[in-house]
Amino acid sequence: GAVVSQHPSRVICKSGTSVKIECRSLDFQATTMFWYRQFPKKSLMLMATSNEGSKATYEQGVEKDKFLINHASLTLSTLTVTSAHPEDSSFYICSASFRRLAGNYEQYFGPGTRLTVT
Amino acid sequence: GIQVEQSPPDLILQEGANSTLRCNFSDSVNNLQWFHQNPWGQLINLFYIPSGTKQNGRLSATTVATERYSLLYISSSQTTDSGVYFCAVKIWGTGNQFYFGTGTSLTVIP
């Protein structure tokens, strides 16, 4: 199947700093990328949907100024957590989607990034 | 909003036992998938099953879309089956994003 990578796999940063997480589709062009957040022992919560070249659509309750999402190309989306606080510590997962010729969409998930804010 | 509830939330099995995991959803769906999240956090797609029944080895799944539920069957469980199982749905008219269920944490003991 298709491969989606995330970098870094884990990161520790100090409160007040910003951290960027990259999501890449390695062998396909992703028209849409999604960002999810997962708290320990909890489900995945959709944060935002981004389409290449346009602004991301954020889910209700997600601060767009805190979680900056950029989808600059068909293979790369970035999530920047700005002015990080300990409560932003979480597991962040991206997924990338493309449309097959048959018309159906396929979606693949990255391995996740564990963020710890001290 | 969409509700996707899974049961049981936690399950402990002896190796070799069978189990059934359930996923109930509150809206009509155009896509339903079952995932296994391994201990490292990677989501592994098990089944694409918006309706009907599929089997893959020791795993099988059934979705009854009209009654808004899906079942995942694990037979002859192995310790490597441990992890969290999620169902995720896509809803008609709401775009291409998945909405994940609450998850079932499975532990298979030798």
The pLDDT of residue A94 is above 90: yes
Q: How far apart are CA B30 and CA B24, in angstroms?
A: 14
Give the closest-approach CA distance of B110 to chain A in angstroms.
Answer: 23
Q: Is A17 helix (H, G, I), strand (E, B) or coil?
A: coil
Partner B contacted by A54 (CB < 8 A):
no
Which residues on chain B are in Cβ contact (under 8 Å) with A116?
none
Give the closest-approach CA distance of A112 to chain B in angstroms.
Answer: 7
Partner B contacted by A58 (CB < 8 A):
no
Model confidence over B4-45: pLDDT tens digits?
999 999 999 999 999 999 999 998 888 999 999 998 899 999
Give the closest-approach CA distance of A21 to chain B in angstroms.
Answer: 16
Q: Is A88 helix (H, G, I), strand (E, B) or coil?
A: helix
Over range A12-33, report the average pLDDT. Answer: 94
Confidence of residue A1 (pLDDT cuts 50, 70, 90): low
Q: Which pLDDT value is given to residue A52?
A: 82
Over range A73-95, report the average pLDDT. Answer: 96
Q: How far apart are CA B85 and CA B65, in angstroms?
A: 19
Out of B88, B97, B105, the one facing A49 most closely (by C-beta) is: B97
Q: Alpha helices of chain A — where are they, by DSSP H? A: none
Model confidence over A23-49: pLDDT tens digits?
999 988 888 999 999 998 899 999 999
C-beta atoms of B41 and A91 within 8 A: yes
Please check whether residue A51 is in contact with residue A45, taking contact to mean a CB–CB distance below 8 angstroms: no
Which tokens belong to B103? 């998850």
The pLDDT of residue A2 is above 80: no
Q: Which pLDDT value is given to residue A104?
A: 75
The pLDDT of residue A72 is above 90: no
What 8-state DSSP symbol labels residue A59?
P
Residue listed under structure tokens 């879309």? B65
| Mean of per-residue pLDDT scores for chain A | 92
β-pairing, B19-25 with B43-48? unpaired
Please check whether residue B99 is in contact with residue B91, taking contact to mean a CB–CB distance below 8 angstroms: yes
The pLDDT of residue B93 is above 80: no
Considering chain A, what percentage of its residues have pLDDT values greater than 70?
Answer: 99
